[in-house]
Structure 1
Amino acid sequence: MAAPFSLVCCGQEKDSDKSVIVQFSNSNIKNADKLDFTMFKNTDENNPRKKSQRILVAESDRLSYVGCNFGEGSLKCNNLCKYYVGVLNKQTMKMEVHSAQLFNMQPSIPGETTVTAKSQDTTLSYREKVESLIEVFGTKKQKRALNSRRLNKVGSDTLHQAVTKAANTVIDQKGLEALQQEVAKTESQGDVALHLPPINKDADRPETVYLFEDLLSPVEFGALEEAGSTMAALTCEDLQKMRDGGCLSVVKVLEDMPTEDGEMRDKTFRCAYYLSLLLKLARHKNMTRKFAQEDGCPRIIQNKLLKTFTVETYKDGRVNNVVSASMRVKLAAYSLALLLHMAHMTADLTLLHRDLQITEARMIEVAKSMGLTLIRPPKGMAAKQELRDEHRRACLVLPLIKYDQLTERQKRKKMH
């Protein structure tokens, strides 16, 4: 009868402490004890994409083998599965379980490295193959055209090197932070149309111009069920806290919401929660994985916000999700489209630009880019209906309005 043994888990291990399982691509190694194994790691430990890169080398008297856990020669199963190795201690009869990673060892033959690299580089495109045929079998006219194209290519490469050198000189003189600030300022003044929601050009009703499914997919809308019930249970004190926290548009929609249609109320509550997240994100510079966790934000909504409204930047050895100036414009456009679905294709631009903390001119520019009709009541009615009539509103009416962008052009002086 076999002796009983117990399992001992070694816990979470670092990449450098993981056990190694190797397989040889050419054959099975009979005398594995005679191999000398050496592990090399990437020196850039601050880069999260490179700090786990490893190269394993096995040397024998006749041949050397090389394997790595990155690049084309690595095994994809390391990213899909976790492997563990059990080591039995015969004295204590306890089996220790260690995490492991797999390496595919390929023979490295001296003198054949350049041949292998050349064979990999011979994957030519269709145009390069045609050029090689012209070089051998082409007519004189075709060969002259080929030489002309190659000379132009050399000229463009020289220009690219000159531009790169000039850019490096500007960075050294002016500083990277100052250039990033200028880029952010220029980006904030960029084309608003690039950040609008998808538009349905064949729409026959206002509700189908900016489809609700493009703002919230059915799966994402279903994930907001619990959050919508939380919004439905808000008290007057909670609404006042939201008003003080910069969610005037959400409070306005909740106060004006009808009480008859139960299905419409449920949809409005879910959209109100999602809109509050967009307004909250617009007031942040960076977004972390802990964003809105205290409010019970579903993970699928967090991932949507990360992918749609943030830009990945690399700084101090970490990948940060930044809400740039262009992403704030995108947040304004998507918030406006969502607010139209919530308030019968009408939105209060004054409240929305205050919630997003952007200028009213920028908010109007977004509304004009979306083709909305701008409404501002006469000043004489302000005494009757207080300051609410001073708010500028936008309404989606078919056909959409195409505004003319008036740009001042300076006349060029004629040279005499």
Structure 2
Amino acid sequence: MSAFATWQYRGEPGEGQKAALVQFSNGKLQNSENVNFSLYKSKDTTNPRKKFRRILAAETDRLSYVGNNFGTGALKCNNLCRYFVGVLNKNSGQMEIYDAELFNMQPVFSDDLKDSETTLGNQTKSYRDQVDFCIEAFGTTKQKRALSSRRMNKVGSETLNIAVAKAAENIIDEKGVTALLNDAAQNDLQDESAYLPPCHTDGVKPEEIYKFEDLISPEEYKALQDPSEVLKNVTSEEILKMIEEKSYCPFVIEALKSLPLNEESRDHKARCLWFLNILIKFRSQSVIKKKNSLGPEVPHIINTKLLKNFTSLTYNNGSLRNLISDSMKAKITAYVIALALHIDDFQTDLTMLQRDMKLSEKRIIEIAKAMRLKISKKKLSLESGGEEHHKIGTLSIPLPALPHRKRR
């Protein structure tokens, strides 16, 4: 065997045909030897849109499957990506590479086929009925087993639908419509919790509910040392300059005015404030076109975290972009609140965060309540001499019950 392997691109394995990669929508294939595949291609070779159309059929002992590369059921990834199959010659160490195409195989039931009515003798039968009739008369043992299994699945499906309908009626009679609507609202809230930081409800102290390492990992915390130095050693003059240039959000600037004197605590708070400011800046964007959109001073590990955890990869006009959707903005908001709780000893000013992130009060209160915070009001004095009420979020033990939301 050669010490080094090489590969050679062979192009498409056949004229106008690519190697087929299949995935089954209802499970994983245990034994490929028990599956027979058939590939059908369009006869219309002159039409540029139709000549590459393919239908792949698969038959097992239990079910029949079909997949295609056109129409509504086709996989969009074939248009976004290129797939290849490599065949390695272990003796020569050379791998031949061929173009490939991905097919999503869907099980075929008798109900899935449209009734194409044709006359057979004196009876009207669908195409599916005619095929089944032929299988019963002339089919192989494997085909007959598949037919029997398909018919049993149909009967089982109808029985299941009847049983589900009956069970639903019993539940409604037993619990009532109001209770069911409350349960549904609770489920909606649990779905929304997928965008919240990990919540350890068994924690005995506030810092154990939203753990710091779930917000900033040890490696990320270490990377924050250098960029946060500007906050750690900030002077009164520099704070005034920050206010003038609006380089940091008001929440961070207010916290900088009262940094701890202890060196270790001061360093810790500076790192947290710098990262919180970056989170809020990142949230203000909609589409990330460049990986270092926040500037070269942001460490690579932090940039990677933001893109991986708070964006969705989208394809547009021939290029990939990172999109910050509304759900991702809600996720960033929740992480900002959790980090602010650690900065402010688990009692933070939601009104200031709301203004920094340009949110409505209703929205930030909704997220704070989903995070199991207690909401209170606090009167604060303004530099102009007046006063205003701020909403304060407090994380305390025991945690309050999850809020119920009315269903619209």
TM-score, normalising length: structure 1? 0.54
Instruction: Label 1:49 to 1:281 Cα distance change in 2 as closer, same or farther (>3 A).
Output: farther
Look up the match of 2:151.
147
Is 1:293 aligned to residue 315 of structure 2? no
Q: Which of residues 81, 86, 109 in structure 2 aligns to 1:73?
A: 86
Q: Which amino acid aligns with 1:302?
A: N
Is 1:257 aligned to residue 267 of structure 2? no
- Per-residue CA shift, 1:33-56, capped at 9, x if unaligned? xxxxx9x9x9xxxx9998996xxx
Q: Which amino acid aligns with 2:308?
A: K
Q: Which amino acid aligns with 1:196?
A: L
Look up the match of 2:394.
395
Instruction: Label 1:48 to 1:251 Cα distance change in 2 as closer, same or farther (>3 A).
Output: farther
Instruction: Label 1:74 to 1:215 Cα distance change in 2 as closer, same or farther (>3 A).
Output: farther
1:159-308 aligned at under 5 Å gives the runs 192-243=192-243, 244-245=246-247, 247-259=249-261, 261-287=262-288, 288-294=290-296, 296-308=297-309
Instruction: Label 1:392 to 1:246 Cα distance change in 2 as closer, same or farther (>3 A).
Output: farther
User: What are structure 1's unaligned runs of at least 5 residues?
Assistant: 1-19, 25-37, 54-69, 76-101, 108-120, 122-134, 155-188, 410-416
Q: Distance in 1 between matches of 2:77 and 2:291?
A: 17
Instruction: Label 1:317 to 1:190 Cα distance change in 2 as closer, same or farther (>3 A).
Output: farther
Q: Distance in 1 between matches of 2:272 and 2:156?
A: 56
Greater per-residue helix proportion: 1
Q: Distance in 2 between matches of 1:383 and 1:278?
A: 27
Displacement after TM superposition at 1:349 (Å):
0.5
Question: What SS does structure 2 have at the residue aligned with 1:357?
Answer: coil
Q: Which amino acid aligns with 1:326?
A: S
Q: Distance in 2 between matches of 1:267 and 1:333?
A: 21
Look up the match of 1:104.
95
Displacement after TM superposition at 1:383 (Å):
9.2
Contact 2:349-2:392 at 8 Å conserved across structures: yes
RMSD (CA atoms): 4.3
Instruction: Label 1:74 to 1:302 Cα distance change in 2 as closer, same or farther (>3 A).
Output: farther
Aligned pairs, number = 265
Is 1:326 aligned to residue 332 of structure 2? no
Q: Distance in 1 between matches of 2:299 and 2:214?
A: 18
Contact 2:372-2:400 at 8 Å conserved across structures: yes
Look up the match of 1:360.
361
Question: What SS does structure 1 have at the residue aligned with 2:401?
Answer: coil
Q: Distance in 2 between matches of 1:404 and 1:367?
A: 10
Question: What SS does structure 2 have at the residue aligned with 1:361?
Answer: helix
Q: Which amino acid aligns with 1:309?
A: F
Displacement after TM superposition at 1:346 (Å):
1.2
Look up the match of 2:161.
none
Displacement after TM superposition at 1:374 (Å):
1.0
User: What are structure 2's unaligned runs of at least 5 residues?
Assistant: 19-75, 99-104, 106-139, 159-188
- Per-residue CA shift, 1:245-282, capped at 9, x if unaligned? 461111122112221x2211111111111111101011
Question: What SS does structure 2 have at the residue aligned with 1:214?
Answer: helix
Q: Distance in 1 between matches of 2:384 and 2:97?
A: 81
Instruction: Label 1:250 to 1:22 Cα distance change in 2 as closer, same or farther (>3 A).
Output: closer
Question: What SS does structure 2 have at the residue aligned with 1:227?
Answer: coil
Look up the match of 1:85.
none
Contact 1:312-1:319 at 8 Å conserved across structures: yes
Contact 1:372-1:400 at 8 Å conserved across structures: yes
